[in-house]
Amino acid sequence: MVSSFDELMQVQAAITVAVLQAHHSSWNKQYVVLPHDTQEVSGVSWDGSIKYHPLDVVEPLQEMFDRAGQQHDSETLDRYREALRTVFHENIHLLAGPGTSLAFPLDAYEGKAHRTFEEAVTERATQNELNNFITRLGLEQIAPRISGAQAGAYGAYVPAVDSFSAAVGADVGLDADEVIRRMAVVNSAQKFPVAAELLYSKHLSELVPETAKADAIRRIAEAMHAPLAAVHDYNSKDPSDVAISALAGRSAFRQASAEVEKIAAEWSGNQDLRRTLDAGLGATTPLHKPRDNRAAAGPHTNGEDSPHPPSWNAKPTDRRPPTPGPSRSPGD
């Protein structure tokens, strides 16, 4: 059990890696407390550091630890849970697969599709696993009933990734939450390819030669982009936008499935060529990391535009209006 804000800051990345069963975190073990009067919100930076706003994160959590064991009203518990959600969300942004980091490759963060998908997957994973994060930290003893409090962000983005992950999961035989987890434990450059590889493995692995696998996955991944790019500018306070977001997720799956069918048609009559090309070639490593037994993981585990630094924030705040600039996230 952590008993102070400082202890939480020390173990935040290790607990996130354990909860999500990720390969590693890109956190550089540095966090910055932003000035009170800044319009910048909590987020992560290219160098792997984390920025926390004092009003949204630092002060609520310090208060929570100072009042350890006390009973709180629902409003106070929601405020504490929201601060913890922000911490967990930012640490999920920093997860990465073998041989990669947050900022590899640097040019993978172009465009609205990647930014929407990054935030949506990260927030859904945050909501799915936040109580596990709280349990591993022992925070029910610090703030009783915090596991039942309310917190969340990116209300216009999450419906898209919910419908998308449900459709992919149903197609390949995985729970939607597991599809989300596999996409959450890799960086932004790999999230679309992880989903694409699931579809590839189910439908194309016996048709497409190993030498053409990477191109096939690239094509499937790119087919997902357009519907999700449109979600980037949706408003979470507009019910019609939220409803259309879910439709966009299903559209992304349908377009990916159409590309799978197209690739299958291209290779279905060329199996002699496939066997020739595959001769002597070994299997490649999957992009995702399958989930191990959850009990085995312990808390001791340590339109497109130009590229922007991944200073994603866990919840754009109504208190501080957004300003343009590369340190901002796309917003809720």
Q: Read off the pLDDT of residues 100-149 as tens digits, 9 standing for 90 and up.
A: 887 655 555 668 999 999 999 999 999 999 999 999 999 999 999 999 99
Say if residue 105 is preceded by a cis peptide, omega within 30 of 0.
Answer: yes
Q: Is the pLDDT of residue 281 over 90?
A: no
Residue 302 is predicted with a pLDDT of 34
Q: Is the pLDDT of residue 306 over 50?
A: no
As a whole number, mean pLDDT of residues 12-34 equals 97
| Token pair in block for residue 332 | 């809720």
- Amino acid identity, position 155: G
Residue 36 is predicted with a pLDDT of 95
| Token pair in block for residue 205 | 């692995």
Tens of pLDDT, residue by residue over 225-258, are: 999 999 999 999 999 999 999 999 999 999 999 9
Alpha-carbon gap, residue 61 to 55, rounded angstroms: 10
Residue 63 is predicted with a pLDDT of 98
DSSP tag of 19: H
Alpha-carbon gap, residue 92 to 17, rounded angstroms: 8
Give whole-number Cα distances, 211 to 205, 206, 216, in Å.
Answer: 11, 13, 10
Residues 142, 64: contact at Cβ < 8 Å?
Answer: yes
Residue 313 is predicted with a pLDDT of 54
Q: Is the pLDDT of residue 285 over 60?
A: no
As a whole number, mean pLDDT of residues 192-197 equals 98
Residue 296 is predicted with a pLDDT of 36
Q: What is the full DSSP assignment across 226-288?
A: HHHHHHTT--TT-HHHHHHHHHHHHHHHHHHHHHHHHHHHHHHT-HHHHHHHHTTPPPPPPSS
Taken in order 156, 103, 108, 182, is the CA torsion positive or negative?
A: negative
Q: Quick check: pTM over 0.75? A: yes
Residue 111 is predicted with a pLDDT of 83
3-state secondary structure of 34: coil
Binned at pLDDT 50, 70 and 90, residue 289 comes out as low
Alpha-carbon gap, residue 62 to 154, rounded angstroms: 25
Give whole-number Cα distances, 298 to 18, 71, 101, 129, in Å.
Answer: 6, 29, 22, 15
Residue 269 is predicted with a pLDDT of 76
* Beta-carbon contacts of residue 249 (< 8 Å; ≥ 6 apart): 159, 160, 161, 162, 163, 164, 165, 167, 227, 228
More confident residue, 215 or 102: 215
Residues 216, 200: contact at Cβ < 8 Å?
Answer: yes
Residues 126, 313: contact at Cβ < 8 Å?
Answer: no
Number of H helices, E strands in the chain: 12, 5
